[in-house]
Amino acid sequence: MTMLPEKLLTGYRTFMAQRYANETMRYRQLAEQGQTPETLVIACCDSRAAPEIIFDTSPGEIFVIRNVANLVPPYEPDGEYHATSAALEFAVQSLKVKNIVVLGHGRCGGIKAALDTESKPLSPGDFIGKWMSLVAPAAEAVAANELMTPFERQTALERISIRYSLRNLRSFPCVDILEKKGRLTLHGAWFDISTGELWVMNPETGDFLRPDPELVDLQPGQ
Amino acid sequence: MTMLPEKLLTGYRTFMAQRYANETMRYRQLAEQGQTPETLVIACCDSRAAPEIIFDTSPGEIFVIRNVANLVPPYEPDGEYHATSAALEFAVQSLKVKNIVVLGHGRCGGIKAALDTESKPLSPGDFIGKWMSLVAPAAEAVAANELMTPFERQTALERISIRYSLRNLRSFPCVDILEKKGRLTLHGAWFDISTGELWVMNPETGDFLRPDPELVDLQPGQ
Amino acid sequence: MTMLPEKLLTGYRTFMAQRYANETMRYRQLAEQGQTPETLVIACCDSRAAPEIIFDTSPGEIFVIRNVANLVPPYEPDGEYHATSAALEFAVQSLKVKNIVVLGHGRCGGIKAALDTESKPLSPGDFIGKWMSLVAPAAEAVAANELMTPFERQTALERISIRYSLRNLRSFPCVDILEKKGRLTLHGAWFDISTGELWVMNPETGDFLRPDPELVDLQPGQ
Amino acid sequence: MTMLPEKLLTGYRTFMAQRYANETMRYRQLAEQGQTPETLVIACCDSRAAPEIIFDTSPGEIFVIRNVANLVPPYEPDGEYHATSAALEFAVQSLKVKNIVVLGHGRCGGIKAALDTESKPLSPGDFIGKWMSLVAPAAEAVAANELMTPFERQTALERISIRYSLRNLRSFPCVDILEKKGRLTLHGAWFDISTGELWVMNPETGDFLRPDPELVDLQPGQ
């Protein structure tokens, strides 16, 4: 009897034979002592953009929220269920992370759906439509520019939505206060699936730049 | 100037030099042709339990939702923002995944908080308290059982909450219909951070068992 | 007596000692037999983006128009002086070039001026304002999107104006006819001064992509 | 798929491997800080006479206008599109160049066309005929002198048209004023494609002379 997709079971056996075998002590210590990740990464669910792969992290390094299009809703203490806000609160207040990285990526299906003004809801509940409405004003502004190609519009909205999520992060009092005290730093980054390139946001200008592997400073590009 | 935590930048360079270098064509094809993951994994944000590591997946294989304690809320088409329901809808309706795996793990901070009836809210909004209230009745029942050790109570609630999430998944009409048609399979699994063991849920009994690496059948445990 | 800026005279002596010394026969043949360039490049006057340098061309290879922002005005047979249209006509009708490349570049001062809606004319004649009004509708559309950063807006307009120039090229009957006969090919490219990267336009989608030095095919980026 | 002429792509790769590799920091600084060229060169589109090659310039040194026969039209603030006047205004008023060099050359196709009184227009719009009519009175006078050989007539008109462009430059108020204040210097030069020689115009007599590489003074010739 196989109770998991066979491919996942095979992968799990590789994990045990390699990664876990190599890092047994680290896993045991992490289990005993609990996690103390320094960084929260808010990433997309996309199967091609896992932050643990892109940042080649070890277990215990990054606490990871993944939702469609790596969005952060604005602070709304309304007593509803908020998966992202709850995880954010846990990371900042309980784990006391020092960094938050909003990690977007190219060819994002959620962003594409937000730009497709003629799409029909996937369900009567239209969860995805409602979720992507978090960036609706930006999506409308970008979609209206017919001089840009569809690909250019998509990249533009992907990057705008990262800046938008960073702004919403600051609407949470705990984030705002800790950032002003210098105990929490916010970052934006955008991953290009095709080229593997990571474009990092300049916090002052909002532009996305590629880190230079040689010089460790950042050069603008588009 | 460094705009990302140095550790992540270093990790990214390793990714480019190793993983991306080895899988360039795969990344390019995934970028060109779009993602077609066969499996949705609903996992915890915990820094020690990344599904891509545990299942040793390649890019493009699994679509991943990560929230605190890998919870699925019940179907509530109320027009609010629902990060998890939106991502679920996108995976099932748009990407048409064939499998959904709810992946829990040991020593889960969210589950621990749910069992700690004397804890105070982390914030006036109390996002994490509200979020974990999704398993409140089970948490109360387990917490009341003083014959189990705290560790046993935590493991018990971790597994109950996986079964609870699987039940909520079936409250979504699209999941229910496709599962009944045999086009979608639901799975539960629980990862032991300390031993690296993956315990897989028997769909008939709800028990969690260890797949035997030699025999490929499943042995009950814990 | 020095009748040229000293730096240019020094550079000229280097040209004579090196390039001309190495290519004397080529220069003599080009003088005797006349030029037969296969490609017309329409580039910007910018001191940082000379096409002969970027394409490492030999003498005789490319016929080059340079005006501010590498613009092509629409076909207007009105009897006025048209520097760009005249040079285009000469390249296509008399030299019978096989390719036309519109070469834009990042951080273009002309495009920046077009986006700066509050700038005052440099002169009563306002030649530069009138010239950049060739892309005024696009500039207004892009300038209106305040969600993009100034740098992003500039890159967007730089690329839109390349597509715009290609469209205007096709308004010239001689270009349109020869392209349809397959005897003339139109190309767009954008040079990143900072990184040295050349982004080439996909003629079908209008997107700008980086040519891959290894594979000689083109991968989308940005 | 190749979206640029293969020869240009090959040349671009050489540029990246050699010139850009050697001057990376210069390109980055020029991108960051903007261009500050000291000299505007007005040159011909001819594929054999690129000013960056002839003057062996580095990126950022010269701002370059290229039109057929390196002509400057007279100052005409008539609200029409003027590629050359716009670029001139940008160089003088915005970049505040200190020198303007009108660079002509031998065997110029535009000048040859101006002398060929029996040629038919290349198109109904006759852009090139209209453009070259800027030197029509001189062309007629030279063409009438049957005592000179065709080659002598062509060289004569090439040099006359350089002096003519310098006169038109001075019809622009901004050029005239700055030259009189000593903040802008005008130069003429003529490049012999066959011998590689640069002939520089004596500003007082209008004669074209060869700078002596040894003695750094100028010897009359031709």
Give residue A25's region: left, alpha or beta (phi > 0; psi -120 to 50). alpha
Distance between CA atoms of C195 and C199, rounded to whole angstroms? 11
CATH class of C35-212: alpha beta
* Residue D63 contacts residue D52 (beta carbons within 8 Å): no
Q: Which two tokens stand for residue B30?
A: 């995934």
Question: Does A80 contact B122 at a Cβ distance shorter than 8 Å?
Answer: no
CB proximity under 8 Å: A 97-126 to C? 106
Whether the pLDDT of residue C27 is over 80: the answer is: yes
Q: CA B148, CA D144: separation in Å to the nearest integer?
A: 115
> Position of tokens 């061309």?
C57
The per-residue pLDDT for C179 is 97
Per-state percent for chain A, helix, strand, coil, to nearest 5: 45, 15, 40
The residue with tokens 């809210």 is B121
Three-state secondary structure readout of B183-221: CCEEEEEEECCCCCCEEEECCCCCCEEEECCCCCCEEEC
Is the pLDDT assigned to residue C84 strictly greater than 70? yes
- The verdict on domain D35-220 having CATH code 3.40.640.10 is no
A152 and C156 within 8 Å at the Cβ level: the answer is yes
CB B88 within 8 A of CB B72: yes
Q: Contacts of residue C222 in chain A, CB cutoff 8 Å?
A: 152, 155, 192, 222
Consult the annotation and say whether B82 binds a ligand: no
Touching check for C173 and chain B: CB below 8 Å? no
pLDDT one-digit tens code per residue, A47-91: 999 999 999 999 999 999 999 999 999 998 887 878 999 999 999
Task: Going residue by residue through chain D, which has 222 residues, state the pLDDT in tens, using 9 for 90 and above.
Answer: 458 999 999 999 999 999 999 999 999 999 999 999 999 999 999 999 999 999 999 999 999 999 999 999 999 888 787 899 999 999 999 999 999 999 999 999 999 999 987 778 888 778 999 999 999 999 999 998 888 889 999 999 999 999 999 999 999 999 999 999 999 999 999 999 999 999 999 999 999 998 765 444 444 444
The answer to whether A163 contacts chain B (CB < 8 Å) is no
Closest CA relative to residue B68, chosen from A165, A172, A94, A111: A94
| Three-state SS letters, A100-159 | EEEEEECCCHHHHHHHCCCCCCCCCCCHHHHHHHHHHHHHHHHHCCCCCCHHHHHHHHHH
How do D198-201 and D185-191 pair as beta strands?
A: antiparallel
**pLDDT value, residue C216:** 37
Q: What is the pLDDT of residue B77?
A: 84
* Facing C86 at nearest CB: one of D50, D130, D192: D130
Per-residue pLDDT band at B218 (split at 50, 70, 90): very low
Q: In angstroms, what is the C-alpha Rg of chain C?
A: 19
Question: B211 pLDDT band (50/70/90 cuts)?
Answer: confident
- Span B188-198, pLDDT tens digits: 999 999 999 99
Cα–Cα distance between D206 and D215 in angstroms, integer? 21
The pairing of strands D39-44 and C39-44 is unpaired
Q: Helix, strand or coil for residue C213?
A: coil
Q: Is the pLDDT of residue C87 over 80?
A: yes
User: CA-based Rg of chain D, rounded to a whole angstrom?
Assistant: 19
Cross-chain Cβ contact C5/D217 below 8 Å:
no
A130/B79 touch (CB, cutoff 8 Å), yes or no:
yes
Exposed / middle / buried, residue B54 (Cβ in 10 Å: 0-12, 13-18, 19+): buried
pLDDT digits (tens, 9 = 90+) for C40-63: 999 999 999 999 999 999 999 999
Is B44 annotated in a binding site? The answer is: yes
List pLDDT tens digits, range B12-45: 999 999 999 999 999 999 999 999 999 999 999 9
pLDDT at C219: 41
> Residue B48 and residue B45: Cα distance in Å, rounded?
9
Residue C88 tokens read as: 């285009």
CA distances, A199 to each of A19, A222, B91, B155, C49 (Å): 28, 9, 26, 41, 24
What number of other Cβ atoms are within 10 A of residue B19's Cβ? 18
Q: Is C210 on the interface with D (CB under 8 A)?
A: no
**Which residue of B lies nearest to C219 if distances are taken between CA atoms?**
B28
Specify the DSSP element, H or E, that contains C211.
strand C208-211
Q: How many CB atoms lie within 10 A of CB B117?
A: 10
pLDDT given at position C2:
55
| Strand bridging mode D39-44 / D62-67 | parallel
> Which residues in chain C touch residue B28, judged by CB atoms under 8 angstroms apart?
219
Q: What is the DSSP string of C64-100?
A: EEEEGGG--PPP--SSS--HHHHHHHIIIIIS--SEE
Ligand-binding site membership of A105 (annotated): yes
Q: Are B203 and B187 in contact (CB under 8 A)?
A: yes
Inter-chain touch A83–B82, beta carbons under 8 Å: yes
What does the alpha-carbon distance between residue C48 and residue C150 come to, in Å, rounded to a whole number?
A: 21
B124 vs A102: CA distance, rounded Å: 24
Q: Which residue of C has its CA nearest to A212?
A: C195
Report the alpha-carbon distance of residue A100 to residue A92 in Å, rounded. 9
**Six-digit token pair at B147?**
């014959």
B187 is in an annotated binding site: no
Mean predicted confidence (pLDDT) in A6-35 = 94
* Helix, coil or strand: residue C73: coil
**C102 pLDDT more than 50:** yes
Distance CA C202, CA C181 (A): 20
Residue-range domain boundaries for chain D: 1-34, 35-220
How much is the CA Rg of chain B, to the nearest whole Å?
Answer: 19
Cβ neighbours, 10 Å, residue A14: 13
DSSP state of D126: -
pLDDT band for position B119 (50/70/90)?
confident
Give the model's pLDDT for residue B2.
54
Higher pLDDT, D220 or B143: B143
Residue type, D221: G
Class of the A35-213 domain? alpha beta
Angle between helices A150-169 and A136-143 (to 10 degrees): 150
Q: What is the pLDDT of residue B125?
A: 78
Would you call B187 and A5 a contact, using CB atoms and an 8 Å cutoff? Answer: yes
What pLDDT shows up at residue C196? 94
Measured at the CA of C209, the angle between CA C203 and CA C214, to 5 degrees, comes to 115
Q: Is the model more confident about D96 or about A118?
A: D96
Residues facing residue C102 across a β-bridge: C42, C188
Dump pLDDT digits (tens) for A138-176. Answer: 999 999 989 999 999 999 999 999 999 999 999 999 999
Close Cβ partners of D197 (under 8 Å, ≥ 6 residues apart) = D191, D210
CA end-to-end distance (rounded Å), chain A: 51
**CB within 8 Å: A109 and B189:** no
pLDDT band at B205 (very low <50, low <70, confident <90, very high): very high
Query: What's the complex ipTM?
Result: 0.90
CB C141 within 8 A of CB D113: no
- Residues paired with B42 in a beta bridge: B65, B102
Q: Measure the CA–CA gap between C157 and C208, rounded to whole angstroms.
A: 13
- D28 contacts on A by Cβ (under 8 Å): 219
pLDDT in the model for residue C211: 77
- For residues A221 and A187, the model is more confident at A187
